[in-house]
A = this chain, B = another copy of it.
């Protein structure tokens, strides 16, 4: 199918990031729904595995047929290909700061708390529900606490993570906060992050990308 084709699941934080980017850029896309829990996980079925041998969501198939994977790589691609509005600031130091915030979520919180890790802890290591919840909340607390401190240490005074417009950092933060709330984390502990969340969730691009507004929501 021509145009941009996004392989997505309503609750996937990584797909949620890319949906926000596409919406901010004003780009239409064809969604393809990959259910992460049905039939042993549709991401493991041949149709998707051939597209992305890592069996992870999202993937974006571009206009010219290239299959892009890994949400941050997809978002950087979109920002390079469709520069307006920019998702990274202009100065190299500010870009590094914004990218570091995004990576604090994408490397140091999300991979520890996603479905495949939950399946391993419960299925192989026989973790109880309580043990899993404690694990989940430990990494949320470490990660969101560090993000809050990192922003505050920079005398944070923006409506968003950096500057006056949403950046890659906000695209990663908002889905992570949504996810944290699902697992009963108290995000009132992070007032700066909470303020950014409120500001982002007033924007159409973020609202339209939210899990509850996806056609495949349950």
Q: Chain A interface (Cβ within 8 Å of chain B)?
A: 53-56, 62, 64, 66, 68-70, 72-74, 76-77, 80-81, 92-93, 95-97, 99-100, 102-104, 106-108, 110-112, 116-117, 120, 124-125, 127, 131, 134-135, 138, 142, 146, 149-150, 153
Complex contact A68–B131 (CB within 8 A): no
Chain B residues near A76: list those with CB within 8 A: 95-96, 99
* A68 and B100 alpha carbons, distance in the complex (Å): 8
Partner of A70 from the list B55, B56, B107, B112 (CB cut-off 8 Å) is B107
Chain B residues near A117: list those with CB within 8 A: 112
Chain B residue nearest in CB terms to A152: B53
Q: Give the copy number.
A: 2
Q: A73-B99, A73-B103, A77-B96 are in contact. Are A135 and B125 (CB under 8 A)?
A: yes
Complex contact A69–B100 (CB within 8 A): yes
* A213 and B68 alpha carbons, distance in the complex (Å): 36
* A116 and B111 alpha carbons, distance in the complex (Å): 14
Complex contact B104–A107 (CB within 8 A): no
A18 → chain B, closest Cβ, in Å? 12
Most buried by B among A64, A81, A103: A103
10 smallest A-B Cβ distances: which pairs? A73-B99, A53-B149, A70-B100, A77-B96, A54-B146, A73-B100, A70-B103, A66-B93, A68-B96, A80-B92
